[in-house]
A = this chain, B = another copy of it.
Amino acid sequence: MGTTERRQREKEQRRMEILSSAREIFFAKGLEGSTMDEIADKAELSKGTLYLYFKSKDELYVSLLSEGTEIFTNMMLESISQDMKAEDKLRSIGNAYYRFYDEYPQYFKILFLLQHGEFSDDKVDQDIQSNCMFEAGRSLNLIESILNEGVEQGEFTIKDSWQATLFVWAAANGVFTIAAEKHHEFMKEFNTKELLDFTMDKIISSLK
């Protein structure tokens, strides 16, 4: 009796369809600028149905953040291989970040540019919220473990690896945040990838 599985599949599919419509709307108009009616319209569903699949507008949005973070983290993880030196791993995830910035500008924007206040627990399901956190955590853990590995192999000299992790993260993040604002009048031209490479050089030499 495969009807149960089929229905499960169809449910998951519908969820995806809603997410997909929400993505288009949110990417185009941001959290505040988008309405549930609009999303329902795009999904060719009634608004009530959205609430059958997502607790709130916020939950829908956080689900997208979660998606983005997952893509991001996977790109980092897939960019490195076990036989690399710690230094090369760091450069590699820097490049992965660049590719994410380049290939998924919309996700980059909602994840790192738009500050997304707090999402209250009663509006966003715990599972979804924590998946988002978990995915974000994986990136930082990856960096920390690379730093620790670098210390073990004698490549780096670091006292507090968590502090160093945050430093690396902040520095890299800073590059892309600036890059995203390139178009501002007051900002002189620069090449993002070159700035990133330069920054990675500096970061790495400072860790040695």
Chain A interface residues toward B at CB < 8 A: 1-3, 5-6, 41, 44-46
Contacts and interface: CB of A to CB of B under 8 A. Distances in A.
A2 B44 CA distance: 5
Contact of A41 (B2, B5, B44, B45): B2
A88 B46 CA distance: 57
Q: How many copies does the complex hold?
A: 2
Contacts of A44: 2-3, 5-6
- State the majority secondary structure of interface residues on A: loop
Those 6 A-B pairs whose CB atoms lie nearest each other, nearest first: A6-B44, A2-B44, A3-B44, A3-B46, A3-B45, A2-B41
Contacts of A46: 3
9 contacts: A1-B41, A2-B41, A2-B44, A3-B44, A3-B45, A3-B46, A5-B44, A6-B44, A6-B45
A2 B45 CA distance: 8
Contacts of A3: 44-46
A144 to B, nearest CB: 47
Contacts of A2: 41, 44
A50 to B, nearest CB: 12
A127 to B, nearest CB: 28
Contacts of A1: 41
A199 to B, nearest CB: 48
Nearest to A2: B44
Q: Which of A3, A5, A6, A45 has the most chain B CB atoms inside 10 A of its CB? A: A3
A124 to B, nearest CB: 26
A181 B1 CA distance: 38
A179 to B, nearest CB: 39
Given A2-B41, A3-B45, A6-B44, 6 more contacts: A1-B41, A2-B44, A3-B44, A3-B46, A5-B44, A6-B45
